[in-house]
Amino acid sequence: MKELGATDVRQLEAALFRKYGDLKWWPAESADEVLIGAILTQNTSWRNVETCIASLRINGMLSCCSISESGREKLAVLIRSSGFYNQKAERLTTVCGKVCEDYGTLELMTRRITMEKAREFFSGIKGIGRETLSSILLYALHLPVFVMDKYTWRMLGRLGFETGEKRPDHVESVFVSALGGDVNRLRNLHAMIVNLAKDNCKSKPICETCLLRDNCDYAGREIIVP
């Protein structure tokens, strides 16, 4: 096992970019839609989230303030396909209500809030764990963080890096520093890793066609840094 460094992150980005390019993720028309999607996607597939987003859009409920003003029962019906819909309806109305109460709109919040304040604001809300929080900070508030999800941990471990999941702040800081805090690059690298996880680095991996196979311990080869 070796320690993950900035050079490793940049080499990973370059290798993935040759295959995936700019994925322009997160697909949303507004920051509100991103925040809403970040909560809806908990424990479900993105396909189910898309169904919910379409339903919310048709009913004029794709903003924090419209959700905060709606009843939880109505919201739960509209997001039923996401699973755990009563729980998610409660989380959404709580988060959106707090955003609108404290800042007026999510757009105004984005203009005014700092990283420290944003972490403090969202981490105190029930149901907003580390991964959801990072997604909101990066994709909705345009703040330089990296989303350390299960796909990233799995990939790093298989590539032979000492991931140190008990100290995610350190690993995240390596990603952020390596990409110079560039929000667009951080977003795209996360999106590319997710796509790699879907294509090859599954729980039962398909190593034969993986673009990282020559550097992967799991594939049974010695790591060779290009």
168 and 208 fall within a common domain = yes
How far apart, in whole angstroms, are the C-alpha atoms of residue 222 and residue 216? 7
203 and 103 fall within a common domain = no
120 and 179 fall within a common domain = no
pLDDT at 223: 40
102 and 134 fall within a common domain = yes
How far apart, in whole angstroms, are the C-alpha atoms of residue 103 and residue 221? 52
36 and 96 fall within a common domain = yes
pLDDT at 221: 55
38 and 136 fall within a common domain = yes
pLDDT at 2: 87
How many structural domains comprise the chain? 2
Residue by residue, DSSP assigns 54-104 as HHHHHTT--SHHHHHHS-HHHHHHHTGGGSSHHHHHHHHHHHHHHHHHHHS
pLDDT in tens, 113-159: 999 999 999 988 988 999 999 999 999 999 999 999 999 999 999 99
Question: The pTM is what?
Answer: 0.92
55 and 107 fall within a common domain = yes
103 and 163 fall within a common domain = no
CATH of the domain at 57: 1.10.340.30
**Structural domain that includes position 162:** 2-24+147-215
Longest dimension (CA), the chain: 57
CATH of the domain at 203: 1.10.1670.10
* Residues in the chain, pLDDT under 50: 222-226
Within a 10 A sphere around the Cβ of 114, how many other Cβ atoms?
Answer: 10
Asked if residue 226 is part of any domain, the answer here is: no
